Amino acid sequence: MSRSIVWQIVLGAILVVLALPHVRALYFGSGLRWQYILIFSFVLSCLLTPFCRLLALRLNILDRPDWRKIHAQPTPLMGGVSIYLAFSMSLLINGIFLPGMKALLLGVTLVFLVGLIDDIKPLPALLKLILQVLISLLVILWGDIQFTFFYTSDWAPFVNIPLTVLWMVGLTNAMNFFDGIDGLAAAISMTTALFLGIIAFKTFQPALGWIAVALIGTCAGFMPYNFRFGSPALLFMGDAGSTFLGFTLAGLAVMGEWSTTSHFVSLSAPLLIFGIPIFDMIYVNLSRIKNRQAKNFLELLSCTNKDHLHHRLLSLGFARKETVFIIATMSACLGVSALIIMNQKALEALLGLFQALLILALIVLLMLKGRERIPAEGDRRTFRRRREDR
């Protein structure tokens, strides 16, 4: 019997034990519900991921190499299915839902399905954007969840709702942009969920904390198959996984109150925690406009290039695993800043934001330096061959 089969049997046995009512009651009664969700989501993700890989191979759902991709071999794409299933089942077994959580779960399911269809047969970029906007509006209006930038005024919803849609759609695609190196999107998602979860528990929002814990466990269970030292990934999460993670984390941020001292701090904390994806999305799009790679919105929407933060770090000579570690560390630094300001007032929060801006300034220098070494159109094939051994 092979080692992988033995491992799957062990995982299955652990999952059966965790599903026993008295085991679940023991964890819940001991105040360790978060630990139960973490273990359950991790084990279930580990168990489901190999089966999703085999299914993708059988159905020929593969991510095939091209000039803008780093991997050298066709790779199965259905890792997002295991991530979605493990996350959803972890929340169902927990059995506690906030008023707006059902709307969010419906939204993330629809985003996941759109991403899965796109993995099987690529959809036009404009169609995906329209669907994401409609799904965001469904979650906001049905779940009655939105960022509150302005209060009381009659025109407040006409500002709050569009900005919340921009937040959710923007972060959904920002996380998709980071799905370019083995383990990067999962690492950023775990880091983001970690700090959202910590603040949720510290501000007495346990249900939001449990959602964050489920995401951490799910991504951690996926990582051994996607982030492998010395070997390429066995499968990718695909758009189904990356957009699902981005939309879920964005929705989680909208649902929470992230400070007990200041509304300004409550809005600032998510900006810091999501700082790296937000910065990369804004910087890359402005760069493409400045360099005339896109002349209008539709061209910008469909523009693809090796100009994201991870591409530029690779061009500076960092290996892929080093790049993942660097970006995850940057994200953690901004998350720590969010923890520092959460119990502060507006002035202290501004100092925390200033510190974050200094970190982002260093990233800008890396982006500019990396841009100098990104190869021209004719050198793309050479560049890919040079990076395949990393």
Residue 69: how many CA atoms within 13 Å on its side-chain side?
13
In contact, 160 and 250? CB cutoff 8 Å: no
Stated pTM of the model? 0.89
> What is the chain's Cα-based Rg?
21
Per-residue pLDDT of the chain (390 residues; tens, 9 = 90+): 578 888 889 999 999 999 999 999 999 989 899 999 999 999 999 999 999 999 999 999 998 877 666 766 888 989 999 999 999 999 998 887 777 888 999 999 999 999 999 999 999 999 999 999 999 999 999 988 887 776 666 777 788 899 999 999 999 999 998 988 899 999 999 999 999 999 999 999 999 999 999 999 999 999 999 998 888 889 999 999 999 999 999 999 999 888 777 777 788 889 999 999 999 999 888 888 888 887 777 777 777 777 888 888 888 888 889 999 999 999 999 999 888 888 777 777 787 778 888 888 888 887 777 665 555 444 444 444 444 433
Tokens of 366: 């890396």
Q: Are 313 and 362 in contact, with CB atoms under 8 Å apart?
A: no
Residue 244 near residue 115 (C-beta atoms within 8 A)? yes
- Contact present, 297 and 362 (Cβ < 8 Å): no
Q: Is 25 exposed, middle or buried (0-12, 13-18, 19+ CB in 10 A)?
A: exposed
Q: Which two tokens stand for residue 118?
A: 């796109």
Among 310, 308, 324, smallest CA distance to 229 is for 324
Q: Residue 240: how many CB atoms within 10 A of its CB? A: 27
